[in-house]
Amino acid sequence: MSDMIATQTPRRSLRIHRDDNVCVALVDLAAGTRIEEAGLDITLAEAVGRKHKFTLEALSPGDTVIMYGVTVGRATRPIPSGGVIATGNIEHTTDSARDGTRRRDWQAPDVSAFAGRTFEGYHRADGKVGTANYWLVVPLVFCENRNIEVLRECVREALGDDPHRRYKHMARSLLHGEAMPEAAEEAPALERPFPNVDGVRFLTHSLGCGGTREDARALCQLLAGYICHPNVAGATVLSLGCQNAQAGLLQEALAEHDPEGVRTVEFFEQQALGDEETLLRETLTAIFDGLRRANRNERRPAPLSKLVLGVECGGSDGFSGISANPLVGAVMDRLVALGGSGLLSEFPELCGVEHELRSRCVSDETAERFRELMAAYQRHAGAVGADFSMNPSPGNIRDGLITDAMKSAGAARKGGDSPIVDVLDYTEPVRRPGLSLLCTPGNDVESTTAMAGSGANLMLFTTGLGTPTGNPVAPVLKIASNSELATRMHDAIDFDAGPIVEGRAGIDELADELLTLCLDAASGRYRSCAVRLDQQDFIPWKRGVSL
Angstrom distances, CA of residue 185 to CA of 13, 166, 272:
44, 6, 46
The answer to whether position 404 is within a domain reads: yes
Pair 291, 330 in one domain: no
Please give the backbone phi and psi of residue 265, each rounded to the nearest 5 degrees, phi first: -135, 125
Q: At which of 296, 317, 332 does a domain end?
A: 296
Pair 288, 308 in one domain: no
The answer to whether position 30 is within a domain reads: yes
The answer to whether position 115 is within a domain reads: no
Q: At which of 92, 108, 126 does a domain end?
A: 92
| pTM for the model | 0.90
Other beta carbons within 10 Å of 339: 14
Residue 6: its pLDDT value, please?
Answer: 45
Q: At which of 236, 262, 296 does a domain end?
A: 296
The answer to whether position 368 is within a domain reads: yes
Q: Is 204 helix (H, G, I), strand (E, B) or coil?
A: coil
Instruction: Tell me the C-alpha distance between 460 and 449, whole Å.
Output: 13
Pair 379, 483 in one domain: yes
Pair 370, 490 in one domain: yes
The answer to whether position 541 is within a domain reads: no
Pair 200, 316 in one domain: no
Pair 151, 172 in one domain: yes
Instruction: Tell me the C-alpha distance between 308 and 445, whole Å.
Output: 18
DSSP run (H or E) holding 238: strand 232-239
Pair 323, 279 in one domain: no
Pair 62, 168 in one domain: no
Pair 197, 313 in one domain: no
Q: What is the CATH number of the domain that holds 250?
A: 3.40.50
Pair 270, 328 in one domain: no
In sequence order, what are the residues at sequence separation of 6 or more whose Cβ sits closer than 8 angstroms to the Cβ of residue 104? none
Mean pLDDT of each 10-residue bin along the chain, 547 residues long:
45 88 91 88 91 92 90 91 90 69 77 96 97 98 97 94 87 86 55 93 96 93 98 98 96 96 96 96 98 97 98 92 96 98 94 89 96 91 72 72 80 95 98 97 96 98 96 98 96 97 93 98 98 96 74
Residue 383: its pLDDT value, please?
Answer: 80
Question: Count of domains in the chain?
Answer: 3
The answer to whether position 483 is within a domain reads: yes
Parallel, antiparallel or unpaired: strands 22-25 and 13-14 = antiparallel
Local structure of residue 481 (DSSP, 8 states) = S
The answer to whether position 110 is within a domain reads: no
Instruction: Tell me the C-alpha distance between 343 and 370, whole Å.
Output: 14
Pair 173, 207 in one domain: yes
DSSP run (H or E) holding 265: strand 264-269
Q: What is the CATH number of the domain that holds 21?
A: 2.30.130.110
The domain in which residue 26 lies consists of 13-92
Residue 99: its pLDDT value, please?
Answer: 61
Residue 186: its pLDDT value, please?
Answer: 54
The answer to whether position 119 is within a domain reads: no
Pair 223, 336 in one domain: no
